[in-house]
Amino acid sequence: MKMSYIQEFRGKLKVLGSGLRIGGSKEGVSIGETDNPIIRHPITNVPYVPGSSVKGKIRSLLELKYCSDTQQTGLPCTCGECLVCQLFGCGKAQNIRTPSRLVFRDCQPTEETLGAWQQGGTDSEIKTEVLIDRNKGLAYGRIGPRTMERIPAGSDFNFSFSLRVFDGDNVAEYYDFLAEGFELLSKHYLGGSGSRGYGEVLIVAEDGTPMHEFLRRKAEELRSS
Ligand SMILES: [Zn+2]
């Protein structure tokens, strides 16, 4: 297969309404630290949003809608033929028919967001949650509250992804399919604890319109050209 070009898309990932939690790992717990830290850059220690988190979430939402294998097994689709496998890749070597097309970059905070964090004196929010005993209405057992670290609502991250286009690809169809993925993400959530309100995000294109609307317009332009 001959690659014809790589199309880049840039925009912003906006954390809306409530905090965003993408878990990191911790090496040890010291006093005053949260039990559940967010992921941070290993050197600068600044919070970021991994491209793999965005890619994986959009993929999984599309699989739940379109891939019967996933609906049965809960695992990523490995058919090698569907739009998910063509765009996001196929994890089963013997089924690979085509190279994967999408790359999602890690999302670093924008200059404005870094400024706002600096001004506020913090780049994250520590949220305390507690399990309530249904009969007593008090904290269950003597289990103390757990703390969850989140990226504060109102933070913006630079976002970009690219699509490799091969000869013969139906690019308009890819744009429409991706648009659906971005729209599902905006209606669902990113990161952890979404059912408790975390992770409401919107990805916008470089002109500020939601990425799903931008991609649908691009698909329309391609069809009418
Ligand atoms: Zn597939």
Q: Are 175 and 222 in contact (CB under 8 A)?
A: yes
| Residue 31 pLDDT grade (very low, low, confident, very high; cuts 50, 70, 90) | low
Q: Half-sphere exposure of residue 20, counting CA atoms within 13 Å on the CB side?
A: 30
Centre of ligand 1 to C-alpha 17, Å, is 34
Confidence check: pLDDT of 29 > 70: no
Q: Are 183 and 131 in contact (CB under 8 A)?
A: no
pLDDT, residue 68, reads 87
**φ/ψ (deg, to 5) at 84:** -60, -50
Distance CA 102, CA 161 (A): 7
Distance CA 183, CA 58 (A): 9
Centre of ligand 1 to C-alpha 169, Å, is 16
The predicted-structure confidence for 6-17, as pLDDT tens digits, reads as follows 999 999 999 998
| Residue 32 pLDDT grade (very low, low, confident, very high; cuts 50, 70, 90) | low
Q: Which residues contact 222 (CB under 8 A, 6 or more apart)?
A: 171, 172, 175
Centre of ligand 1 to C-alpha 164, Å, is 18
Centre of ligand 1 to C-alpha 172, Å, is 19
Domain that holds residue 74: 3-224
**Number of domains forming the structure of the chain:** 1
Centre of ligand 1 to C-alpha 184, Å, is 18
Report the share of the chain in percent with pLDDT over 90.
63
Q: Global pTM?
A: 0.89
Centre of ligand 1 to C-alpha 214, Å, is 25
Distance CA 191, CA 206 (A): 23
Centre of ligand 1 to C-alpha 66, Å, is 9
Distance CA 30, CA 9 (A): 41
